[in-house]
Amino acid sequence: MYATRGHECDVFAGASETSASTIEWVMSELLRNPRVMAKALNEVRQTFEGTRNIDEIDIQKLDYLKLVVKETLRLHAPGCLYPREKCEINGYEIPSNTKVIINAWAIGRDPTYWIDADCFHPERFQGSSVDFKGTNFEFIPFGSGRRICPGISFALANVELVLSQLLYHFTWKLPFKINPEELDTSESLGLSCRGNQGLTHTTAEGD
């Protein structure tokens, strides 16, 4: 019973923290990329025109928003460092009981696998089979294998539902005289990878 309770706490605590940071990063990238913001906003409003409430089933219709979330996870993996166990890499054996850290942040920005790796371009995932479910090792924001994040479904539902509501009900923009490229996206490490400054310098108009 205690083990089950512990797993449940891990899922909800971990997914809540990482969901919050991912939502913040998505909004930051949308504000830095007005073209993507306009496209995502139009999709949400055209899909749910005349609707007051959006539920988890509805968000399955938002294909472009899902691409935006994928691209955000590539650049800003919620858990950017993953510990692992014994393995052999390129002929080098990593002994048991050695703490090994996998840098998911660097993997998601590796130009060997990603064209214009530092650019925010959601369309790169359009028609692509690359996904974050642990089988494509160039894209592991939730880890992989038996230790893949157990809260992945819970986290994604949270992120997509909140984002669709934010884009449907509000028009987001930066304050006067702040250019998109000036938005601070420096990062700090904790339970998740969050922005140093937080997304505090934005204004929103209700629709």
**For residue 146, what are its two tokens?**
């038996």
Contacts of 84 (CB under 8 A, 6+ apart): 100, 102, 147
Distance CA 139, CA 107 (A): 7
Are 65 and 38 in contact by the 8 Å Cβ rule? The answer is no
Distance CA 84, CA 70 (A): 24
CA angle 192, 194, 199 (to 5 degrees): 145
Is 193 annotated to bind ligand? no
Annotated binding site for heme: 149
Annotated binding site: 149
